[in-house]
Amino acid sequence: MTSSNPRLYFSLFAALIFISAILGLTLTTTLAWGVILAISLSATGFAYIGFDKSLARSQSLRVPELVLLTIALLGGTAGIFFGAHFFKHKTRKAYFQFILLLIFCAQLYLIRLFDIRLL
């Protein structure tokens, strides 16, 4: 990978947003770690959809969908979904919405299978 790889650049930027959200929540709340991680990933996904929408308007380099779907896969599905509808971005891309739905269903299945409790 070179330094001009957009996936690497946008992935590192997403990691920075995610870590900032974790630090902010950890320092200001007494929430459980599972909740902090879920909120941080969702906030990262929401922010990234908005960021990609602004990049689309300016017709500059775009956030690769692989980065957006990876954020969703890691647990930011809610943020990606609500961001897409809030910013009216990627809502007409049927394959993107379908993959997002598959990720969400798989996450629900795993939560149920392993009896994961966030609270």
Which residues lie below 8 Å from residue 47, measured CB to CB, with a gap of 6+? 17, 79, 83
**pLDDT above 60 for 2:** no
Q: Could you state, in order of their start, the residue ranges of all structural domains in the chain?
A: 6-113
pLDDT value at residue 119? 66
pLDDT value at residue 96? 95
Distance CA 52, CA 33 (A): 28
**pLDDT above 90 for 105:** yes
Query: Taking residues 40-69, what's their average pLDDT?
Result: 92
pLDDT value at residue 1? 43
pTM: 0.87
